Chain A
Amino acid sequence: MANQIGNYSLFIALIASIFLIFQSYRLTRNSSKNLDSKIFSVLSVQSLMVLISFISLVFAFIVSDFSNKTVYNNSHTTKPLFYKISGTWGNHEGSLLLWLLVLTFFLFIFLINSKNLPKKYRLLTLTFQEVIIFGFLLFILFTSNPFINLFPIPKEGTGLNPILQDPALALHPPILYIGYVGTSIIFSASLAALVCGNVNKVWASHIKKWIIISWIFLTIGIMLGSIWAYYELGWGGFWFWDPVENVSLMPWFCLTALLHTIVVLEKRNTFKSWTIILSITTFSLSMSGTFLVRSGILNSIHTFANDPSRGVFILCFLFFLIFLAIIIFFIYQKNISNSSIRTYLISKETAMLVNNWFMMFFLSVVLIGTVYPILLEVINGSKISIGPPFYQKLILPFLIPFLLFMAIGPNLKWVKDHINKIKLEQPIFLFISILISYLFTTSYGVSYLFSVPMFGLGFFLFFLTIRDFFSGKSTLSQKIAHFGFSLFILSILFNGVLAKEYSSNMKVGDERKFMNKIIKFENLKITQELNYQSLTGEFNISDDRGNLNLKPEIRIYNQPKTLTSEADIISTIYSDNFLVFNVLKDDGYYNVRYQHKPLMIWIWLSVILIFVGGILGYFKKK
């Protein structure tokens, strides 16, 4: 039943989409003031239909309806209810349905919230957004339909990949998708604004809300994924430059750049074309993210479901949208009135522009590092991978000037400022920061050619952002976000320099010495849970300052039969103690990895601060 309901509602949504594309486009030529009520009701029907089909899929997962192929492939009766529900978007078909759901609902909210904007602009946004919705509906219905019937009906499903059975990962896809899909509204709205010729201050302050919303969700989504990889994959770090991670970082760079230019557009009415270009790029990157992850092209160690024919469809659709956007941009570019307000070199505008340059540089590094292996494989068939050193080497040195500009920029005035106005306190702060980092690097024996300026500017930004809380000229949201970023950089740096790792193969009762610590494998407990068997190791780590008991776990899931290991992490505000163990084979040895990660928790906390800044920016009064 649920299958038929879901399937038919998607077809109705498809018809609604075709109607909306033509009707809304036709009405842009009509001069009446109000939106046609017919459009609104059709749109409501469409959103409702997509919602119904999504709910019927969730329902099929909850009741374990194995006549549905998606449910059969990704669920199991013994799975806890929470993971039955999250299993809905833990697979390709379901996650696309979620994309679609967010797409239609964002459009709905957009139309409700834009009542005081020109009718033509709203209708055109609707048209563009419906083109995207139409493409996704076609994609879902014809290449990845979540409502395929199975007959005879299997008794039991094959289960969800156990590493996906995790609270952080249950929330990660929906949140990331809200961020991704939010960029689609920005894309449609920018094209519409371009066609209508209203790329101006009013439009900027309206679209800024959408940019902030997408940016907040993208930031949280990336963070959740990163936390998950930290404890569930047992990678024991916060970023691995894995292609799947990179793909979510690229739109983030672009969106962050956009977040800054839109402020310039709002306040100073310039950077118009650039804003439009950034909007188009951001959405293209979000789409290619979906394409790269879903097509299975990425040679990543954590790509899940994939199928090449789907990839081809998304690729064609992506090219179509980019092509459409470029054509519209070149035809209507003359609509952008270039304000001839003069801007001087030393000004806030320049500072924002500098931010954008850096974002574009980081973006190109990550883009090339991610795409180059794919290109090379297509061209000459050789398989390569690009490791973390590539990114670190190219990004870290550029962080030095980036941090400097980030510290100074926010306090510059619009239009024109003077260099001689920089007070004595800034050089003093800089001097103190460099001194601290010099003392630190020498006392820890870190090679300091590079570390001194890195740490120094990290501290410089840290001090200046703290000072700005008392005397700064910019908004509170900016201050919090930048302060969070300085904390972020410092925690990464300290973490990177001071982290220690030890791994060994141990039997129960074994003891190992590492630095000044003694790691003891005390006991192993076996318990039976609902859908897995658990081996819990009891480890004791002692040094002159005390004792830590860590209990990592190995889970042997029955359906599908898979091992996962759950790291045990003791987090304090000073450091994380991370221990994970793995079974190798039945010879009594366990592969144990212990990591001491100073300031690890501050990486997550600082990201939270950064998006708190975003949230404040969203609720800021005019």
Chain B
Amino acid sequence: MYGKKVKLRALFILLIFLSVVLTSFLIFKSLEENVVYFKSPTEVKNLAELENKKIRVGGMVKKDSIKTNDLEISFIITDFQNELIVSFKGSVPNLFEEGKGVVAEGFLEDRNYLKATKILAKHDENYMPPEVEEALKENN
């Protein structure tokens, strides 16, 4: 038979092992549910199927596309190849402006239309989403 000390140590290691397994299980399960994918308007266009999951779309706010009424703001996100119409109820950040980078989070109604639940803008006036930068380079 093993001594008491060995048994205790084995129990301890077993406990640690179990809690690590449990922790990683919880974390990864929760990860699966709460991941939000980031796409460009072009990627949205090319989506094979529309899922009813939250996504983020990044690009530039098209010039002269912001329209406002009492309740809603709508604008167009562009990566200079494809465009996506966004409508949004709620508040926008400081640096939300035409011709500047923006990230809209929300649900896709179809491949051209996103109902946003949150608008994010980078807090750097020179910021441009990397995808847009690449797209711009290709176009030039």
- A-side interface residues toward B, CB under 8 Å? 161, 163, 233-234, 299, 301-304, 357, 361, 364-365, 368-369, 372, 382-387, 389-390, 393-394, 503-506, 510, 560-565, 580, 582, 584-585, 587, 589, 591-593
Shortest Cβ distance from A382 into B: residue: B37
Contact A390 B91 (CB under 8 A): no
Contact A591 B91 (CB under 8 A): yes
Q: In the assembly, what is the distance between CA of A163 and CA of B93, in Å?
A: 12
Give the number of A-B contacts (CB < 8 Å): 111
Q: How far, in Å, is A125 (CB) from chain B's closest CB?
A: 31
Contact A564 B31 (CB under 8 A): no
Contact B73 A161 (CB under 8 A): no
Contact A368 B31 (CB under 8 A): yes
Residues of chain B within 8 A (CB-CB) of A368 are 27, 31
Q: In the assembly, what is the distance between CA of A368 and CA of B24, in Å?
A: 10
Shortest Cβ distance from B40 into A: residue: A383
Contact A505 B71 (CB under 8 A): yes
With contacts A387-B36, A560-B125, A587-B68 known, what are 6 further pairs, Cβ within 8 A?
Answer: A233-B93, A304-B123, A582-B94, A584-B66, A591-B92, A593-B90
Shortest Cβ distance from A393 into B: residue: B30
Subset of 9 A-B contacts with CB under 8 Å: A163-B94, A368-B27, A383-B37, A384-B35, A390-B33, A505-B73, A561-B125, A564-B94, A589-B69
Contact B124 A234 (CB under 8 A): no
Q: Among B31, B54, B125, which residue has its beta carbon within 8 angstroms of that of A161? A: B125
The 6 closest A-B pairs by CB, nearest first: A383-B38, A593-B91, A390-B34, A589-B68, A503-B91, A302-B123
Q: How far, in Å, is A154 (CB) from chain B's closest CB?
A: 17
Contact A563 B97 (CB under 8 A): yes
Q: In the assembly, what is the distance between CA of A389 and CA of B96, in Å?
A: 25
Knowing A383-B38, A385-B38, say if A592 contacts B93 (CB, 8 Å).
no
Shortest Cβ distance from A590 into B: residue: B68
Contact B30 A301 (CB under 8 A): no
Contact B123 A234 (CB under 8 A): no
Chain A CB within 10 Å — which of B19, B33, B73, B92 has the most? B92
Contact B73 A386 (CB under 8 A): no
- B-side interface residues toward A, CB under 8 Å? 19, 23, 26-27, 30-31, 33-39, 54, 56, 66, 68-73, 89-98, 103, 120-125
Q: How far, in Å, is B75 (CB) from chain A's closest CB?
A: 9
Residues of chain A within 8 A (CB-CB) of B30 are 390, 393-394
Q: Among B34, B66, B94, B97, which residue has its beta carbon within 8 angstroms of that of A389? A: B34
Contact A503 B120 (CB under 8 A): no
Residues of chain A within 8 A (CB-CB) of B124 are 161, 303-304
Contact B94 A385 (CB under 8 A): no
Q: In the assembly, what is the distance between CA of A385 and CA of B33, in Å?
A: 12
Q: In the assembly, what is the distance between CA of A369 and CA of B35, in Å?
A: 10
Residues of chain B within 8 A (CB-CB) of A393 are 30, 33-34
Residues of chain B within 8 A (CB-CB) of A506 are 70
Residues of chain B within 8 A (CB-CB) of A302 are 122-123
Contact A387 B34 (CB under 8 A): yes
Knowing A394-B27, A591-B73, say if A563 contacts B34 (CB, 8 Å).
no
Residues of chain B within 8 A (CB-CB) of A364 are 23, 27
Residues of chain B within 8 A (CB-CB) of A591 are 68, 73, 91-92
Q: In the assembly, what is the distance between CA of A302 and CA of B120, in Å?
A: 10
Q: Among B56, B91, B96, B120, which residue has its beta carbon within 8 angstroms of that of A592? A: B91
Q: In the assembly, what is the distance between CA of A382 and CA of B123, in Å?
A: 23
Q: In the assembly, what is the distance between CA of A592 and CA of B91, in Å?
A: 7
Q: Among B69, B72, B96, B103, which residue has its beta carbon within 8 angstroms of that of A582? A: B96
Residues of chain B within 8 A (CB-CB) of A299 are 38
Q: How far, in Å, is A203 (CB) from chain B's closest CB?
A: 26
Q: In the assembly, what is the distance between CA of A233 and CA of B121, in Å?
A: 11
Residues of chain A within 8 A (CB-CB) of B72 are 505
Shortest Cβ distance from A306 into B: residue: B124
Q: Among B56, B70, B98, which residue has its beta carbon within 8 angstroms of that of A504? A: B70
Q: In the assembly, what is the distance between CA of A510 and CA of B71, in Å?
A: 12
Q: Among B33, B68, B121, which residue has its beta carbon within 8 angstroms of that of A505? A: B68
Q: In the assembly, what is the distance between CA of A369 and CA of B34, in Å?
A: 10
Q: How far, in Å, is B96 (CB) from chain A's closest CB?
A: 7
Contact A585 B68 (CB under 8 A): yes
Shortest Cβ distance from B98 into A: residue: A585
Q: In the assembly, what is the distance between CA of A505 and CA of B122, in Å?
A: 22
Contact B122 A301 (CB under 8 A): yes
Q: Among B91, B93, B103, B125, which residue has its beta carbon within 8 angstroms of that of A562? A: B125
Q: How far, in Å, is B130 (CB) from chain A's closest CB?
A: 9
Residues of chain B within 8 A (CB-CB) of A561 are 125
Residues of chain A within 8 A (CB-CB) of B56 are 385
Q: How far, in Å, is A247 (CB) from chain B's closest CB?
A: 16
Q: How far, in Å, is B6 (CB) from chain A's closest CB?
A: 15
Contact B31 A390 (CB under 8 A): yes
Q: In the assembly, what is the distance between CA of A383 and CA of B38, in Å?
A: 5
Q: How far, in Å, is B65 (CB) from chain A's closest CB?
A: 10
Q: Among B23, B73, B91, B121, which residue has its beta carbon within 8 angstroms of that of A580? A: B91
Residues of chain A within 8 A (CB-CB) of B89 are 503
Contact A301 B38 (CB under 8 A): no
Contact A163 B38 (CB under 8 A): no
Chain A CB within 10 Å — which of B37, B68, B103 has the most? B68
Q: In the assembly, what is the distance between CA of A505 and CA of B70, in Å?
A: 5
Contact A234 B94 (CB under 8 A): yes
Shortest Cβ distance from A365 into B: residue: B27
Q: How far, in Å, is A344 (CB) from chain B's closest CB?
A: 12
Contact B31 A386 (CB under 8 A): yes
Q: In the assembly, what is the distance between CA of A503 and CA of B70, in Å?
A: 10
Contact A161 B123 (CB under 8 A): yes
Contact B27 A301 (CB under 8 A): no
Knowing A304-B124, A585-B66, say if A234 contacts B31 (CB, 8 Å).
no
Knowing A233-B94, A372-B31, A565-B94, say if A384 contacts B38 (CB, 8 Å).
yes
Q: How far, in Å, is A204 (CB) from chain B's closest CB?
A: 24
Residues of chain B within 8 A (CB-CB) of A304 are 123-124
Residues of chain A within 8 A (CB-CB) of B27 are 364-365, 368, 394
Q: How far, in Å, is A9 (CB) from chain B's closest CB?
A: 31
Q: How far, in Å, is B11 (CB) from chain A's closest CB?
A: 12
Residues of chain A within 8 A (CB-CB) of B39 are 383
Shortest Cβ distance from A512 into B: residue: B70
Shortest Cβ distance from A388 into B: residue: B34
Residues of chain B within 8 A (CB-CB) of A372 are 31
Residues of chain B within 8 A (CB-CB) of A580 are 91
Q: How far, in Å, is B28 (CB) from chain A's closest CB?
A: 8
Residues of chain B within 8 A (CB-CB) of A582 are 91-94, 96
Shortest Cβ distance from A236 into B: residue: B91
Residues of chain A within 8 A (CB-CB) of B121 are 301
Q: Among A386, A394, A560, A563, which residue has its beta carbon within 8 angstroms of that of B35? A: A386
Shortest Cβ distance from A361 into B: residue: B23
Q: In the assembly, what is the distance between CA of A462 and CA of B123, in Å?
A: 39
